Structure 1
């Protein structure tokens, strides 16, 4: 443990640069699986630091490896890099220059923080035990997600622990949010097509109205969690899409529906999928119609390793103010960091990034989303102190 190693000056010197990096990335966002320029930018910065082995595990991702001069474990850090298909509506001087694309989830900040950590740690190779890997991941926002591809490419082979940070616009700046065990939800979707019999609205007896059937199915599906899931469990099922009809006097032949399912338990996940199939089948059969249903497993729940979470909490308490740690409950968001945690124990941590003026605080994926840039220094410090505590 390197509690005596003072890196405060190095952190202070790098903070202005991570702000520049973050603003550049914010101005030049790229969508999932299209992060070519972003990956090139990250690659060039990492090469310039020296002492790092820098590779491209996939076309739009980057991996940097710092091999310490002393034997020890392998620690990995992850930052995601992709933006969202959203038209930015902020008044920031560094707002997106790309029409219809925006960093509306903080990934520009994640990338900048990890670049800063790599820059500082690359100068400390002589005190590093083992190995530190800096994973700059593509396509977190779009299923099947870049994490799964990077795991398949072997980026966490031989890793002992992995740490991920996420800026949270609705948590106070200065707070670091932790949660042992399940942190994010399984995030699944379903698609349903109801096939009835079209006809004229004046002769409903000669038709099988899929809108009527779809309406009944919507009501039935929204009762599944309340009636079929143990009250001690947390789950959400929502029908969010319903497409039908082309004229007011025509009963359509088909209806397309879709929705979202969020769970923490694998058992509950399976129960809800089975219930959707069963309830749809019953309602459709009662009307003499037909259907096509697909249930799509999305990102699995992020389940933080209890031991790693405790280790990081202790590091936070050593290097930050006493009230910095914020214990939070699991939330229903989805995150593909779970793909790494299926292979390696680790922890996903929230960095508070809200403004003191609440009128500037918007949820993630909102056109006016922004983060308090003071939070970037906190994330940088956590990356660096974690590395030096666990690997030196």
Structure 2
């Protein structure tokens, strides 16, 4: 019997944005597709930054460029002195060869927007455009942060160090991630941990090379490395509480030079994700123990590096509740649910400095084939989500102002 995975259906009655935001939809799509055609890697987003800055300046918005190399900060002054709220959008792409056959496919070979950051920029631009058109009615100032290098090595912390949250000081921050793990028109949001701690490890297995026909004279780094990869999978399966989320993934394995040569060395890279501070300390120790033990058993040696990248992303409970209430009011209660992922996000650094919320906006439409996972070479999403994103951001800002004036 063939078991089929249930299809995620997109609700055809997804609410529409207000007319003034709905009118921006063609431009949102145009901006997103332009950015998708010309993707750039972290801290190399020169053309992307120019595109963003030119749009903002044409709308009469104050623009600061070159923030943390390629970041852009837009400041839209309101008529009142209420708390300043920031909106954040990441803008870098990934080193992936695009597999999509679309007119807006990447023209930069080997680089692709495979995680939705092009959509994030388009949504932030649309929010800026709408705010600029209604600036006379804004009760407070809004800052929009276009951040480089989220995929690595991380642009949030350098932007903070460059003063992105100051002058004027930001009181709260919101951001969203288009999410192909949820159907179009749904929102995932919760207070507390939402994205995991993210770390990277590197290991070099040092064996003894030789002739493929005389293995007894060698220590085969391929064999040792393969056993290391397999053994690392047991850490989560056998050393971590089954109720505690954790991931140990080897994403890179390089070794060997020819079919009849036993490799002298093997090189591994991987990532570790968890929410627990205790695991954050224990997992790197256990990984090195596994590598050391296997190498010792085979007469090999090793080199090991472990780098902690992003902390756990912690949503402020009050701001998350605000976002949840806004999303339910706009989309309906049945379309809003708690959501977490073991993915990492350097939005976490902004949330360490000011209260805020980073939420998920469903963007998958399986009926149109727009449901490939993030970082897939054929990743794409339903662009209807762009207008929904602008509406959600604007409603969040309006709710912030309502609450600040009521206090």
TM over 0.5: yes
* Partner deviation per Cα, 1:125-182 (whole Å, 9 max, x = no partner): 34433321101111222x2211121111111233221111111123211111213222
SS of the aligned residue for 1:130 comes to: coil
Give me the CA root mean square deviation.
Answer: 2.2
Report the count of equivalent residues.
383
SS at match of 1:62: strand
* Equivalent in the alignment of 2:196: 185
Matches for 1:305-384 after TM superposition, within 5 Å: 305-328=316-339, 330-357=340-367, 359-384=369-394
Aligned to 2:126, the other structure's residue is in SS state: helix
CA distance in 2, matches of 1:188, 1:213: 23
Q: What pairs up with 1:258-269 in 2 under 5 angstroms?
A: 258-269=269-280
1:313 is displaced (CA, Å) by: 0.9
Residues 249/332 of structure 1: CA separation in 2 closer, same or farther (3 Å cut): same
From 163, 177, 184, the equivalent of 2:174 is: 163
In structure 1, the partner of 2:8 is none
**Map of 2:108 onto structure 1:** 98
Structure 2 match to 1:273: 284
Would you say the 8 A contact 2:42–2:153 is kept in 1? no
Deviation by residue 1:77-107 (Cα, 9 ceiling, x = unmatched):
0111122233333232333333333222211
Q: CA deviation at 1:123?
A: 3.3
Look up the SS of the partner of 1:391 in the other structure: helix
Distance 1:341 1:323 in 2: 27
Match of 1:149 among 134, 151, 158: 158
Q: What is the CA deviation profile of residues 280-332 of structure 1, one whole-angstrom value per residue up to 9, with x for unaligned ones?
A: 2233334443211111222222222211100111122233334331322x212
3-state DSSP class of the match of 2:82? strand
Ranges in structure 2 where 5+ consecutive residues have no aligned partner: 1-16, 403-407
| Residues 365, 389 of structure 1: alpha-carbon distance in 2 compared, 3 angstrom cutoff | same
Matches within 5 A, 1:86-235: 86-141=96-151, 143-157=152-166, 158-201=169-212, 203-235=214-246
Q: 1:252 aligns with which of 233, 255, 263?
A: 263
TM-score of the superposed pair, with normalisation by structure 1: 0.90
Structure 1, gaps ≥5 residues long = 1-6
Alpha-carbon distance in structure 2 between the residues aligned to 1:249 and 1:110: 49
Q: 1:10-58 deviations in whole A, cap 9, x for unaligned?
A: 21222222222222222222222221111111111111222x3210123
Shift of 1:355: 1.7
Aligned to 1:84: 94
